[in-house]
């Protein structure tokens, strides 16, 4: 199983008091959950700005829970994206290249674009969406 964790949820993900992200943390820490990532553009910049999340990524990378996609592949896919409203074409291109259909975000423009552009795209918003984590969504 794989997901994309949008940078706007890093703080929630790292906050042990945040109950909406608890299923995601539990899934990543105790089950076979994985994240996809690419060190490109806004994704890379915002990860660098969060030392704690950067450390968490390093931990997950060592545990084999991060699947990295080449920047070049994401950059090429960005040129093939249909029009979109959000300012996260890197996330949309990463989803298309990785074929991952689960996104954790609270960015409404990105949610709408993801559901429109990614076939079968699902958005994890709150703990009510925890059942998304039990499905095999990793290609």
Helix 41-48 to helix 51-62 angle, to the nearest 10 degrees?
110
If the chain, 139 residues long, is cut into consecutive pieces of 10 residues, what is the mean pLDDT of each piece? 91 96 91 87 85 92 93 96 94 95 96 96 95 70
**Residues listed for the chain:** 139
How far is residue 10's CA from residue 119's CA, in Å, rounded to a whole number?
A: 25
Mind listing the pLDDT tens digit for each residue in 101-139? 999 999 999 999 999 999 999 999 999 999 988 755 566
Q: Output the six-digit token pair for 67.
A: 């699947």
pTM above 0.95, yes or no: no
How far is residue 24's CA from residue 114's CA, in Å, rounded to a whole number?
A: 19
Q: What is the pLDDT of residue 75?
A: 95
How far is residue 58's CA from residue 20's CA, in Å, rounded to a whole number?
A: 23
């Amino acid at each position: 199983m794989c997901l994309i964790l949008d940078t706007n949820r890093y703080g929630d993900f790292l906050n042990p008091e945040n109950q909406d992200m608890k299923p995601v943390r539990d899934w990543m820490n105790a089950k076979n959950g994985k994240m996809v990532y690419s060190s490109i553009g806004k994704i890379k910049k915002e990860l660098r700005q969060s030392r704690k999340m950067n450390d968490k990524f390093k931990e997950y990378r060592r545990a084999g829970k991060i699947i990295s996609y080449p920047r070049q592949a994401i950059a090429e896919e960005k040129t093939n994206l249909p029009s979109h409203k959000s300012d996260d074409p890197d996330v949309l291109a990463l989803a298309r290249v990785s074929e991952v259909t689960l996104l954790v975000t609270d960015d409404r423009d990105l949610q709408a674009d993801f559901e429109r552009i990614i076939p079968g795209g699902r958005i994890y918003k709150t703990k009510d969406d925890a059942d998304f984590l039990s499905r095999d969504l990793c290609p």
